[in-house]
C-alpha cells in the first residue's frame, strides 16, 4: 500500500483555512503523482504546489532576509541514499526542482548561493522574484518592533523593545512510499524572517531537516538552527528501525522541546506506518493511503 504525508509548517498559523486548502491541493497532486509516477514525483509535485502558494513559507512567498531579499533552501532524498540540495538560492520559482537537478545531474550533494543560481540557469530555470508585499510588511514590522523570532541577538542589536509580532514561518515538506517500499522525501523553505544574508538552515542538510533510508523518511519544520544542531531527521529514521513512525516522532518532538527546539516532524517508516508530531502551537499537515485522507 502506498502512503503520502505532507506538512506546511509548524508554529502559530493564522490563515488556517488557507493552509488547509493549500494542503488539500498539494496532497491531491502528490497522490496522483505517486500512483502514476512514483514516490519522487509525488513529493516533488506536492512541494511544488506549496512553493506556488504564497500562504506557505517557500518558493513564491518566502520569508525575506535582513536585506529584504529571498534566499531559499531545499532538498530531496531517496531511501537508496540519493540526495540533492540547494542553499541560499535566489530568483527561481521552484527551488525543490533545482535540488532534484543537483541530485540527478551533478556529482555533488549541495550547491549554494551564486553557484546554485548559475547552475539553475544552466538547467533552464527562468528568473523569478519569490518576494511578496505581505512578507515585506511582516519583516518591516519585526524590525520596527525589535522582535525577530528565533534571532535574539539580532533583535537586541535593533535596540528596541520587543512586541507581539505574528510569527509567519514554516518549512514545507513531503514524504512518500510506494508499494515496493521505496521512500522519497522533499523539503523546501524560505527560512527565518530577518535572517542574515547567506544563512543556511536545516532543510538542505541531509540528516537535519531531510533524511531517508531503508528504515524510513522524515521531513522537519521549525527552528532550523536547533533542528540542525540535533540532526532530527537522521535520529528519526534511525529510530524507525525498531519503532513505528508515530512512536519515534512523538518521542523526538518531546525530547527536542526539552532541548529548546520548536519543531514539527512528518514521516513514514519501512513498514508503511505514517507519523507526525509537533511541539509548537500548531502544524498544518495532511496524509493519505488511498483509503483514509486526513487534513490538518
Asked if residue 4 has pLDDT above 70, the reply is yes
User: 295 burial class (0-12, 13-18, 19+ CB within 10 angstroms)?
Assistant: middle
Binned at pLDDT 50, 70 and 90, residue 155 comes out as low
User: How much is the pLDDT for 133?
Assistant: 82
Asked if residue 130 has pLDDT above 60, the reply is yes
Binned at pLDDT 50, 70 and 90, residue 11 comes out as confident
Query: Cα(248)–Cα(276) distance, rounded to whole angstroms?
Result: 9
User: Mean pLDDT, to the nearest integer, of 147-161?
Assistant: 57
User: Mean pLDDT, to the nearest integer, of 113-118?
Assistant: 98
C-alpha cell at position 85: 540540495
Binned at pLDDT 50, 70 and 90, residue 136 comes out as confident
Structural domains in the chain, CATH included, are 3-295 (3.60.20.30)
CB 56 within 8 A of CB 22: yes
CA 223, 71, 281: angle at the middle one, nearest 5? Answer: 25
Assess whether 171 carries a catalytic annotation: yes
Nearest to 170 by CA among 1, 5, 10, 2: 10
Binned at pLDDT 50, 70 and 90, residue 168 comes out as very low
Contacts of 163 (CB under 8 A, 6+ apart): 145, 146, 147
Contacts of 291 (CB under 8 A, 6+ apart): none
Nearest to 252 by CA among 236, 273, 274, 231: 236
**Least-confidence region, from 94-103, 168-177, 258-267:** 168-177
Q: How far is CA 11 from CA 65, 121, 169, 201, 252, in A?
A: 19, 34, 7, 16, 17
Contacts of 153 (CB under 8 A, 6+ apart): none
Query: Cα(234)–Cα(87) distance, rounded to whole angstroms?
Result: 19
How far does Cα 71 stand from its chain's mean position?
Answer: 14
Asked if residue 37 has pLDDT above 80, the reply is yes
Q: How far is CA 75 from CA 3, 219, 230, 248, in A?
A: 20, 10, 18, 22
**Of 162 and 17, which is predicted with more confidence?**
17
User: Mean pLDDT, to the nearest integer, of 151-160?
Assistant: 55
Q: What is the DSSP string of 227-249?
A: HHHHTHHHHHHHHTTTS-HHHHH
Asked if residue 43 has pLDDT above 70, the reply is yes
Percentage, residues of the chain above pLDDT 70: 91
Query: Per the residue annotation, which of 106, 132, 171, 288 is the catalytic one?
Result: 171
Asked if residue 167 has pLDDT above 70, the reply is no
Taking the CB of residue 104, how many other CB atoms lie within 10 A of it?
Answer: 12
219-265: pLDDT as tens digits: 999 999 999 999 999 999 999 999 999 999 999 999 999 999 999 99
User: How much is the pLDDT for 165?
Assistant: 38
Mean pLDDT in the chain? Answer: 92
Amino acid at each position: 500500500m502506498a502512503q503520502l504525508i505532507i506538512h506546511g509548517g509548524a508554529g502559530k498559523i493564522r490563515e488556517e483555512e488557507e493552509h488547509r486548502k493549500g494542503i488539500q491541493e498539494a496532497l491531491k497532486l502528490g497522490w496522483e503523482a505517486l500512483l502514476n509516477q512514483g514516490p519522487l514525483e509525488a513529493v516533488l509535485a506536492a512541494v511544488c504546489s506549496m512553493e506556488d502558494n504564497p500562504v506557505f513559507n517557500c518558493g513564491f512567498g518566502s520569508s525575506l532576509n535582513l536585506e529584504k531579499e529571498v534566499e531559499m533552501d531545499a532538498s530531496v532524498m531517496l531511501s537508496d541514499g540519493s540526495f540533492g540540495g540547494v542553499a541560499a538560492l535566489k530568483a527561481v520559482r521552484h527551488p525543490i526542482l533545482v535540488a532534484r537537478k543537483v541530485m540527478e545531474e551533478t556529482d555533488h550533494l549541495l550547491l549554494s548561493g551564486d553557484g546554485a543560481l548559475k547552475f539553475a540557469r544552466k538547467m533552464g530555470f527562468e528568473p523569478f522574484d519569490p518576494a511578496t508585499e505581505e512578507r515585506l510588511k511582516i519583516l518591516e514590522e519585526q524590525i520596527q518592533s525589535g522582535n525577530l523570532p528565533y534571532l535574539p541577538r539580532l533583535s537586541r542589536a535593533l535596540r528596541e523593545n520587543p512586541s507581539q509580532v505574528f510569527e509567519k514561518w514554516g518549512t514545507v515538506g513531503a514524504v512518500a512510499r510506494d508499494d515496493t517500499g521505496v521512500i522519497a522525501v522533499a523539503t523546501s523553505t524560505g527560512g527565518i524572517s530577518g535572517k542574515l544574508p547567506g544563512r543556511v538552515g536545516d532543510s538542505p542538510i541531509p540528516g537535519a531537516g531531510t533524511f531517508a533510508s531503508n528504515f524510513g523518511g522524515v521531513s522537519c519544520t521549525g527552528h532550523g538552527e536547533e533542528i540542525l544542531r540535533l540532526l532530527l531527521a537522521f535520529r528519526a529514521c534511525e529510530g524507525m528501525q525498531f519503532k513505528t513512525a508515530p512512536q519515534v516522532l512523538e518521542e523526538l518532538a518531546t525530547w527536542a522541546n526539552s532541548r529548546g527546539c520548536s519543531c514539527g516532524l512528518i514521516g513514514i517508516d519501512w513498514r508503511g506506518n505514517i507519523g507526525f508530531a509537533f511541539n509548537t502551537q500548531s502544524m498544518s499537515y495532511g496524509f493519505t493511503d488511498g483509503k483514509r485522507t486526513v487534513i490538518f
